[in-house]
Amino acid sequence: MRLLNEIHLRNLRGDIFGGVTAAVIALPMALAFGVASGAGAEAGLYGAIFVGLFAALFGGSPTLISEPTGPMTVVFTAVIAKLIASDPVNGMAMAFTVVVMAGMFQILFGLLRLGKYITLMPYPVISGFMSGIGIILIILQIGPLLGQATPQGGTVNIIADLPDLLSGIQLPETALAVITLAILFFMPTKFKRFVPPQLIALVVGTIISIVVLSNVDIRRIGEISMGLPELNIPVFSAEQWEIMLIDAVVLGMLGCIDALLTSVIADSLTRTQHKSDKELIGQGVGNMMSGLFGGLPGAGATMGTVVSIQAGAKTALAGLIRVGILFIVVMWAASITALIPLAVLAGIAFKVGVDIIDWNFLKRSHRISNKAALIVYGVIALTVFVDLIVAVGIGFFFANVITITRLSELQADDVKALTDPDQSDLTFTEQEKDFFRAANGSILLLHLRGTMIFGVSRAISRKNSMMKNCETLIVDLKEVKHLGVSSALVLEEAIIDMLNADRQVYIVSASGQTLSRLTKLGLKNLLPESSFVDDRISALSHAAKHSVATAPTKSLVNKNAA
């Protein structure tokens, strides 16, 4: 695995255009997310620089642009509020420590090669979670859009305070927010190809506030200190350690999902294939460094990535150029941002929230599946009004239970138990049918097919009730692709019951994983070698002979009993 990402000068012109375009988009977004999080505009800029720099250097997706994103900002905002409420003095420092810890978890996920598993989450859960985050981001902007500070206490408190916010509306700032939203929503597509609407909204809103509203007291970003950020020593609290650890895992997992999903989008545009584990390591290093220098956590940003690729970017050099431009802003032009109204940034963040909501799936979910619709709307409600972790946990649990139940119902049809071949849809040769007839109902064939997951074990167990009246059990495993532990244990129980009753058992065509699992259960020691046969006709032949041999004895026993 190469240490550095794909960086070369063979596409210099395209990478320069891509990097400049991405930087133009990143500036207003970083400022908006920094203010929205409560950490300050400079935290957004530092996050855009550090996450973008190290993800570009050490990541596994050359064209991915990494920076603070809406989902990461919403989760981090909740982390800040929680830790400051518990420790007003060290809360902010502890929040940035959580960012460092989240980066460590991402590096660990990459080293353990978990990249291909990170995004294996049911789509209704992802859709509901992302849509819930979008709604939270929208609710968080209600106060700034009305010219006031965001009320403390989360979304529920903001909604409860809505009458007070409306009664205290500051019309000049709300007007700026409306202008910003109008530009973002209604700017013609042909102009968006040349200049991002976020930058236009930022410039227009700021100019109007300076020229037209010069005599009005408007809340602004304020001066950002220029120069390099200071290194923040991680701060730990024994009382908050467990909460910090959980928040770090959630933040790290969300960053992984966000980055890898955006990498897939980049792959579709560039016809390339990203290295998911390497990307997680790059993202982790970026978030560690961002947290150490007081920056917001970040991940792969869809908007920045897409416009960068469309502008011609093909290598990670575009990401480095973008970082260089933002670095210049921080070092020498940060004071210019002091005049930007907070209402304008709130409008930009509001539009991001609207875009995060998965409108396409929400409009169709009830037509696709009522269960999927129930999950997605349930996750949204839990995300917005309860807790992000609870939402994902409950949504993931119910989505998997529904899936497993449905698969078990479908695969139960692949478990067949029969004594009469004419009453089954399985294909038998005439010779096999003759053996069944010769046995006169004393042979039970248990035929399994496909993937025998744990939900199928109940179907196998129900079929085992037919063994009471049979002398021979034939288990046909020829068409089994995978034998789960639960299903294997149920089979073992049936086989042991037959052996305890001094009856015959034959295992047909057990091979590969199926044979390995039965061997590890110890069935090779319980059954004689002759019980393992290669084809069904051999098992039926042995069973039929055994049935004929024992028939007179059984008749004599029944006669004496009479």
Range of the domain at 420: 413-561
Q: What is the mean pLDDT of residues 141-165?
A: 88
257 and 114 together in one domain: yes
pTM of the predicted structure, to 2 decimals: 0.80
189 and 238 together in one domain: yes
The pLDDT tens digits for 505-534 are 999 988 888 889 988 888 878 888 888 988
Q: Does 386 have pLDDT greater than 80? A: yes
Place of tokens 């990670």: 316
What is the model's pLDDT at position 311? 85
Amino acid at 366: H
Q: Using DSSP bridges, classify how beta strands 532-533 and 443-452 pair: parallel, antiparallel or unpaired.
A: unpaired
Confidence tier at 319 by pLDDT (50, 70, 90): very high
218 and 276 together in one domain: yes
User: Residue 550's domain is classified under what CATH number?
Assistant: 3.30.750.24
What is the model's pLDDT at position 208? 94
Place of tokens 């049911």: 122
Q: Are 319 and 22 in contact (CB under 8 A)?
A: yes
Q: Are 355 and 133 in contact (CB under 8 A)?
A: no
Cα–Cα dist 220/237, whole Å = 34
3-state secondary structure of 405: helix
Cα–Cα dist 288/283, whole Å = 9
Q: Does 332 have pLDDT greater than 90? A: no
From 229, 112, 391, select the one nearest 104 (Cα to Cα): 112
Q: Are 92 and 342 in contact (CB under 8 A)?
A: no
Over 36-88, what HEC string results? HHCCCHHHHHHHHHHHHHHHHHHCCCCCCCEECCHHHHHHHHHHHHHHHHHCC
Cα–Cα dist 442/508, whole Å = 18
What is the model's pLDDT at position 559? 37
What is the model's pLDDT at position 554? 44
The pLDDT tens digits for 403-412 are 878 877 777 7
Cα–Cα dist 62/54, whole Å = 12
Which residue has better confidence, 75 or 388? 75
For residue 450, being part of any structural domain is answered with yes
257 and 384 together in one domain: yes
Q: What is the mean pLDDT of residues 272-279?
A: 90
394 and 423 together in one domain: no
What is the model's pLDDT at position 2? 59
370 and 281 together in one domain: yes
For residue 149, being part of any structural domain is answered with no
Confidence tier at 558 by pLDDT (50, 70, 90): very low
363 and 432 together in one domain: no
For residue 173, being part of any structural domain is answered with yes
Q: Does 286 have pLDDT greater than 90? A: yes
197 and 300 together in one domain: yes
Cα–Cα dist 555/557, whole Å = 5
Q: What is the mean pLDDT of residues 3-25?
A: 84
* pLDDT over 70, % of the chain: 96
- Which of the listed residues 383, 402, 421 is the one where a domain comes to its end? 402
Confidence tier at 399 by pLDDT (50, 70, 90): confident
Q: Using DSSP bridges, classify how beta strands 299-300 and 415-418 pair: parallel, antiparallel or unpaired.
A: unpaired
Domain count, the chain: 2
The pLDDT tens digits for 217-258 are 899 888 777 777 888 888 777 778 888 999 999 999 999 998
- Which of the listed residues 402, 433, 466 is the one where a domain comes to its end? 402
Cα–Cα dist 394/125, whole Å = 9
Q: Which long-range contacts (CB under 8 A, 24 or more apart) does 84-87 make?
A: 85/152, 86/237, 86/239, 86/240, 86/243, 87/237, 87/240
Cα–Cα dist 332/35, whole Å = 20
Weakest mean pLDDT among 31-40, 191-200, 378-387, 512-521: 191-200
The pLDDT tens digits for 84-116 are 988 888 899 999 999 999 999 999 999 999 988
The pLDDT tens digits for 478-498 are 988 888 888 888 888 888 888
Compute the CA torsion angle 328, 329, 332, 337 (nearest 10 deg): 180
* pLDDT over 90, % of the chain: 41
464 and 536 together in one domain: yes
- Which of the listed residues 402, 432, 465 is the one where a domain comes to its end? 402
Q: Phi and psi for 445 in degrees, rounded to 5?
A: -100, 120
Confidence tier at 191 by pLDDT (50, 70, 90): confident
Which residues, 6 or more positions from 391, have their beta carbon under 8 angstroms from its beta carbon? 128, 129, 132, 379, 380, 382, 383
Write the DSSP string, 443-454.
EEEEEEEEEE-G
